[in-house]
Amino acid sequence: MILVWWRGGPETGGPDSQPALHETGIMGAVTTPDPVDRFRERYAQRRGEVARRIERSVLGHEVGQNGFTTVAQADTLCDVLSPAAGGRLLEVGCGHGWPGFHVAQRLECSLVGSDIPLDALREAQANVGARRLKGHAWFVAADGRALPFPSGYFDAAVHADTFC
Amino acid sequence: MKQGGCLAGFVIHTPPGLSASAERRASELGPDALVAGALPEHVTRDVGFLDVVRTDVTQQFRATVEAMHGAARRWEAELRAEQGEEEYMAGCERAKAMLLGIQEGLLLRSLVTTIKG
C-alpha cells in the first residue's frame, strides 16, 4: 500500500490534482523545492529495455533509479546496519525502492519507503511482489523531513543520493 | 528513529572550504541531489546523531559514472531510439559534467553511518 500525507491531514482534503490518491490510500503532497520537480519529471519517464540493460550491467540490478548505488554498496549498507536490523527499516528518498528493497530482504526487515514523486512510489509498490516483500513493504508520499510517524518508530534508516 | 538506531547512506557532496564560485560550479556540474556547503557528517551531527563516520567512495562513484557513460555510448543507437535524441544527449551531458566535477575535486561521494542519540 502507498500512503499519502498532506498538511492538515486527509480529512481537510488534498490537492485537486490528486483526488484518486486518497481513495487508493496514498498519503502525500508536500511543499517541494525545484530539484524535486526534476526528479518527478525523471521518474515519470518510462524506462526502456536498453536503459535497464545498462543499469543491470553497471550497477548489478535494474530497479530504474536515479542514483549510483551498486549491489556491492547496498551489501555494505546491510553490513553496517546489521546489528540494528530485524525490525522496521525506513528508506528516505526511496525512488523505485533501491537500495531499500535489497537491505530489507537481506536483513528480513519490514520496509517503509518515503519519497515525493508519486510515479516513483507506484513503481516501487509494483515491485514489492517481485522482491518477495509482500505484506512487509509500504510507501509514503511525504517529505523526509516531515514523516507521518511517531518518534522512535524505526529501528534503522537508509538513504542513497537523496536530495537534502 | 529509535535511540541507538543506525542511519546509513550514500551522499554526494562538495569538499569543505570551497569558494562561493567553486560551490556554484559544483552545483552546475553535480547531480540534483548534491549536498553543498557543509560536510554531511557535520549536518548529521547538528541534528542529533552520534558516532558519525564518513568513508570516501568517490573513486567508486567515478567508476560507476564512467561505466554508465561508456555503456550509453556503446549502445548509443538503441538508446537514442528508445529515449529520443534530447533525453539521450541530456544524459550524456549530465554524465560528462559529473566526471568533470569529480576530476576537478568538486564532487565527492561518501558513505555516512551514524547512530541516533
CA-based nearest distance A144→chain B, Å: 12
Distance between CA A73 and CA A63 in Å, rounded?
A: 15
- With a cut of 80, say whether residue A16 has pLDDT above it: no
Assign 3-state DSSP to chain B and report helix, strand, coil percentages, each to 5. 50, 20, 25
Q: Which residue of B has its CA nearest to A49?
A: B82
Backbone torsions φ then ψ of A12, nearest 5 degrees:
-90, -5
The percent helix, strand, coil of chain A (3-state, each to 5) is: 35, 15, 50
Measured between beta carbons, the chain B residues lying within 8 angstroms of A93 are: 33
Enclosing H/E stretch for B52: strand B49-56
Looking at the complex, report in whole angstroms how far the Cα of residue B36 sits from the nearest Cα belonging to chain A: 9
- State the smallest CA–CA distance between residue A26 and chain B in angstroms: 22
DSSP letters spanning B56-91: E-HHHHHHHHHHHHHHHHHTHHHHHHHH-HHHHHHH
Q: How many Å lie between the alpha carbon of A73 and the closest alpha carbon of chain B? A: 9
Contact (CB, 8 A) for A101 and A131: yes
Q: Do A161 and B71 touch (CB under 8 A)?
A: no
- The verdict on a CB contact (< 8 Å) between A164 and B35 is yes
Chain B residue with CA closest to A153: the answer is B1
Between B32 and A118, where is the model more confident? Answer: A118
Q: Which residues of B touch A (CB under 8 A)?
A: 1-12, 31-33, 35, 43, 57, 60-61, 64-65, 67-68, 71-72, 75, 78-79, 82-83, 87, 109, 111, 113
Which residues share a beta bridge with B11? Answer: B110
> What are the tens digits of pLDDT across the range A109-152?
999 999 998 989 999 999 898 888 988 999 999 988 889 999 89
pTM of the shown model: 0.83
Find the CB nearest A156 among B6, B10, B78: B6
C-alpha cell read off for B83: 529515449
Do A45 and B10 lie within an 8 Å CB cutoff? no
At B101-112, the pLDDT tens digits run 999 999 999 999
ipTM at complex level: 0.90
Q: pLDDT at position A143, please?
A: 85
Tally C-beta pairs within 8 A across A and B. Answer: 111
- Are the CB atoms for A98 and A160 separated by under 8 Å? yes
pLDDT at B69 over 90: yes
Distances from the Cα of A54 to the Cα of A112, B47, B50, B59, B73, angstroms: 28, 38, 38, 20, 10
